[in-house]
Structure 1
Amino acid sequence: MSEEEIRLAAGDVELTVTPANGCRISSLRVGGTELLRQGERYGCFPMVPWCGRTARGTFLNGATVHHLPLNSPPHAIHGTGRDTAWHTARADKAEAVFTYDLAEPWPYPGRVTQTFALTEDSLTLQLGVETYGDSFPAQAGWHPWFLRTLGGSEVTLDFAPAWQEERGEDHLPTGRRIDPLPGPWDDCFGMPDGVDVTLTWPERLELKVTSRAPWVVVYDEQEAAVCVEPQSGPPNGLNTEPRLVTPIDPLEIATTWTWRRL
C-alpha cells in the first residue's frame, strides 16, 4: 500500500490523508468544494503528545525535568506527531487507521493511533496514546485550518464557552479564567459539557465541530483560514493540567465534524 496518500470517499465527499507528512488531512472536499487550507503545513494535523505551547519547552514528570526542542521560541509547540511519518495500519474505502511510535525528542516510549471514519455528512477522528512502560503526562487534539471563504462566502463562528483562559504576553494561559472576549482570537476556551462550535459559510455550508473534550482553541488571526482545535487539555497543560498515560489508562480523544449544505 502506498504511503504517499490515502484517499477515503463516501458519496461525493473525499478525504485525503498524508501519512508521511504527520498523518494530516491534506484535503477534505464536499461536493467538489475544498474545506481546508492547502499546503504542507496546513490541512488538519494531529497535536500529540502535547497541544499548543509548552512553556519554554520544559515539563515535569514527578521530579524529573524534561526539555523539548523550542520549535516556536521560546516555547515548544503542537507536539511531534505532525513532524513524523506514520504507518498505515489499515485503510478501507471510508475508514483508515494509522500509528507511530513515540521517540526522541519525546522522552518516553509509547504508541499513538489515529483513526478516520468518513460518511456522506460527517468525519469522526480519534487519537489514542499508550505507554510501553513508564507513565507520562500527555495531550492530544487536532489543528484544522478551515478556509475562511468558500465560493465568496465568509465563515462565521458560533460557540458558547463557559470561560476563556486569560492569555499572557507569552501567549500562555495565566491561570485565570475570564468571561469570553470578542475576537480575533488565539485563545483557549473551556466547554465543560464538550466542545460544540458551528462554522457557517452563508448559503454554502454549515459545519459543526464537536467533542466530549472540554477544551478548544480558536485561532482566527490569519486572513486565509480559521482554526477550531478540540484538545484534551489547555496550552501548557503538560505542566498545569497533567493527564497521565499509564499502562492501564491510555489517553483517548475523539472529535466529529458534521456538515450540511445550505
Structure 2
Amino acid sequence: MDRHTPASAVTLRAADAELVVDPQNGCRLTSLTTRGTELLRQGEKYGSFVMAPWCGRTDQGRFRNGPEVYQLPVDDRPHALHGTVRSAVWRTVRADERSAAFTVDLTEPWPWEGRITQVVELAEDGSGVTLALGVETKGDSFPAQAGWHPWFLRNLGGGGEDVRIGFDAEWQEERGADHLPTGKRIDPRPGPWDDCFGMPEGIDVTLTWPGELELKVASRVEWVVVYDEQPEAVCVEPQSGPPNGLNTLPRFVTPIEPLEAATTWTWRHLS
C-alpha cells in the first residue's frame, strides 16, 4: 500500500484502472487512475466526495419544512455547504475486487434520523466507474438532495493541454450576488463557471484532455454544477436538485420512498 493511502482505505481494481475510497474521510474517492494516470486532485478535501442530505449552498443555513424553520451550521461561511457527510466516518459494508458498499447514519446537525448508502463499482474492463447513492429515513419524512463533488485535474501532468469541458444544457440557473440561484432560468453562458445547469434528459458532460483522455460524466439526475475557477482542477457535480434546493425544490424522503441517484464516469484514452 502506498504510504499516502490510509490504512482504512478500500482499493478497487479492474484491468488498468484503480480506485481508492476512504470511508474514514466522507467515503471520498481519494484516487482514480487509468494506465497509471491520476484523474483526481489529491488532498484531504479533494478527490470526489458525496453531497448529502443537501447539495451546494443552502441559504444562510436555513430551510423550511412545513411550518418549521431549521438552522444548519454555516461554519463561518455565508451559507451551509455540501451536506453533513463529506467528512464523516462511514462504515464499509462489503468490498470485493471491483466494487464496495458503504453506509453512514444521518444524525445531528441534520434534524432527522436517516441513513446514506454509497455503492462504488468499476467496470469489468476498467473503462469506467458507477457511483450510486441512496438516502433513507429511519422515521419521519424529510426533504433532501444527493450528489457528488469530484475534483478532476485540470492538467494530467504529462505535458499535454488543459482539460476542455463540453456540454449542451437546456438552461442555466441565474446566479445572484449571493451565489444562490435567483429562480430565473437563462440561456447557458460561457465560462468561467461556478454555475448550475439544467439537463432534463439527464446529465451528459464530456471532459477532454486533448490527445490524452476523454471522460464522460452521465447521470439521470437533471442538474449539474460546473466549477472551473481554480487553476488546479475542475468540478462537474451531478446532483438531484439545484443549489438551495431544500428551499426551492425539495424532494421528500419517505419511509417507503428513498432518494436514489447514480452517476457513471466512462473514459477512453486518445493515444
- TM-score for the superposition, normalised by structure 1: 0.98
Matched, 1:200 2:204: no
Deviation at 1:73, TM superposition (A): 1.6
Whole-angstrom CA distance in 2 between matches of 1:187 and 1:113? 27
Q: Does the Cα contact within 8 Å between 1:101 and 1:110 map onto a contact in 2?
A: yes
Runs of 4+ in 1 over 6 A off after TM superposition: none
Count residues with an aligned counterpart.
261
Which residue of the partner structure matches residue 199 of structure 2?
191
Matched, 1:7 2:11: yes
Deviation at 1:71, TM superposition (A): 2.7
Deviation at 1:83, TM superposition (A): 1.8
Q: 2:153 aligns with which of 122, 135, 147?
A: 147
Q: 1:61 aligns with which of 52, 61, 65?
A: 65
Whole-angstrom CA distance in 2 between matches of 1:167 and 1:36? 27
Deviation at 1:61, TM superposition (A): 1.1
Counterparts of residues 30-109 of structure 1 (less than 5 Å): 30-71=34-75, 73-109=77-113
Query: 3-state SS of the aligned residue for 2:24?
Result: helix
Structure 2 letter corresponding to 1:181: R
Whole-angstrom CA distance in 1 between matches of 2:7 and 2:176? 41
Which residue of the partner structure matches residue 248 of structure 1?
256
Deviation at 1:3, TM superposition (A): 6.4
Whole-angstrom CA distance in 1 between matches of 2:76 and 2:86? 14
CA 1:24–1:72: 2 relative to 1, 3 Å: farther
Which residue of the partner structure matches residue 130 of structure 1?
136
Unaligned runs of 5+ in 1: none
Query: 3-state SS of the aligned residue for 1:154?
Result: coil
Whole-angstrom CA distance in 1 between matches of 2:76 and 2:185? 25
Q: Does the Cα contact within 8 Å between 1:184 and 1:220 map onto a contact in 2?
A: yes
Deviation at 1:176, TM superposition (A): 0.3
Structure 1 letter corresponding to 2:102: F
Matched, 1:172 2:180: yes
Matched, 1:17 2:18: no
Query: 3-state SS of the aligned residue for 1:142?
Result: strand
Whole-angstrom CA distance in 2 between matches of 1:83 and 1:26? 12
Unaligned runs of 5+ in 2: 1-5
Deviation at 1:240, TM superposition (A): 0.1
Q: Does the Cα contact within 8 Å between 1:190 and 1:215 map onto a contact in 2?
A: yes
| RMSD over aligned Cα atoms | 0.9
Q: 1:116 aligns with which of 107, 120, 124?
A: 120
- TM-score for the superposition, normalised by structure 2: 0.95
